[in-house]
Amino acid sequence: MSSVKIECAVKEKNKIGESPVWEEKEGTLLYVDVSGQKVCRWNPATNQIHTLKTDQYVGSVVPRRSGGYIIGVGTRFAAVDWKQQTITTIAHVDEGKSNNRFNDGKVDPAGRYFAGTMALEVRPAELERHQGSLFTLNPDHSVVKHFDKVDISNGLDWSLDHKIFYYIDSLSFKVDAFDYDKKTGNISNRRAVYHLEKDEGIPDGMCIDTEGKLWVACYSGGRVLHIDPTTGKRLRTVKLPVDRTTSCCFGGQDYSELYVTTASEGMDEDSMKRQPEAGGIFKITGLGAKGIPPYSFSG
Ligand SMILES: O=C(O)[C@H](O)[C@@H](O)[C@H](O)[C@H](O)CO
Ligand SMILES: [Zn+2]
């Protein structure tokens, strides 16, 4: 077995780094800084970061098949023209809930954008409960609301056979699964596939690997969990040198590198001293696992 190597690849600090997506064509890593209110694109070859400021908190960014990106910003779905550096609203959600914002999101195997909302936090993980919902932006730009009463809508991905949708509502401290209908985008039959242990922190972003196993970043846990969703067992724990690990995706050559975003927001001076790399993005190699290419929004 090769040895695991963990390095801080993107040193520029995010307040809340999130939603990492590998862009194979350019060999770049796309992500957001939620409360830093920006969409970022890091080029490993040049170590340059290009950013686009948003006018509100941005929860996630996904590639769009016709070019550019789609984001969940504030309580809007919006299109990003990266070349023109413009953001155009596509649809509104959670109308009347002015204290809400989009959080994590990802494109499903049929090209729909799934993203959920949450109330704004007073402090990390402290917020008015049950205010969020999970939505889908369809390719025709219609919006579907799947369910409400979500605390912190977070990690999501689909099984390799496209029959299961995995989902995390962070404050439930578990990873859930739904039956997923690729044709309609409907999800049903919610059940738990993994319950976090006390010291594992708060489940946040996640991604699937080529074996159908999940990698779950744990906020306040300083770790990524490798989970088998069919047995409900944890296969492995990968610890990082910072506590606030937020999300992960595979990227790089053959999708064999795991990129882990982290947050620095809300840390006091002391913990910043102890964790100087907080807010950076980590690259983990030697895991012996690989990911799959991200799906693009087809609308
Ligand atoms: O990363 C996210 O998904 C949210 O934007 C964050 O706010 C954290 O999850 C939260 O603070 C801890 O649960
Ligand atoms: Zn998250």
Residue 1 has pLDDT above 90, yes or no: no
211 annotated to bind ligand = no
Strand order in the sheet with 48-53: 17-23, 28-33, 38-43, 48-53
The ipTM is 0.92
Asked whether 275 lines ligand 1 (CB < 6 A), one says no
Of all residues in the chain, what percent carry a pLDDT higher than 70? Answer: 99
DSSP tag of 141: S
Residue 54: inside a domain: yes
- CA of 154 from ligand 2 middle (Å) equals 5
Residue 15: inside a domain: yes
Residue 290: inside a domain: no
Asked whether 170 lines ligand 1 (CB < 6 A), one says yes
Residue 297: inside a domain: no
- Shortest-distance Cα residue to atom 13 of ligand 1: 125
Q: pLDDT tier at 5 (50, 70, 90 boundaries)?
A: very high
103 annotated to bind ligand = yes
Give how many domains the chain has, as a whole number. Answer: 1
Q: What digits encode the pLDDT tens for the residues 36-53?
A: 999 999 999 999 999 999
Residue 299: inside a domain: no
Q: What digits encode the pLDDT tens for the residues 171-227?
A: 999 999 999 999 999 999 999 999 999 999 999 999 999 999 999 999 999 999 999
Calpha distance 24→295 (Å, rounded): 11
Give the residue numbers spanning the domain of 185: 5-285
Residue 294: inside a domain: no
pTM: 0.98
**CATH classification of the domain holding 73:** 2.120.10.30
**Whole-number pLDDT of residue 238:** 98
- CA of 187 from ligand 2 middle (Å) equals 21
Average pLDDT, the chain: 98
Residue 99: inside a domain: yes
Residue positions annotated with a catalytic role: 204
Residue 110: inside a domain: yes
- CA of 1 from ligand 1 middle (Å) equals 33
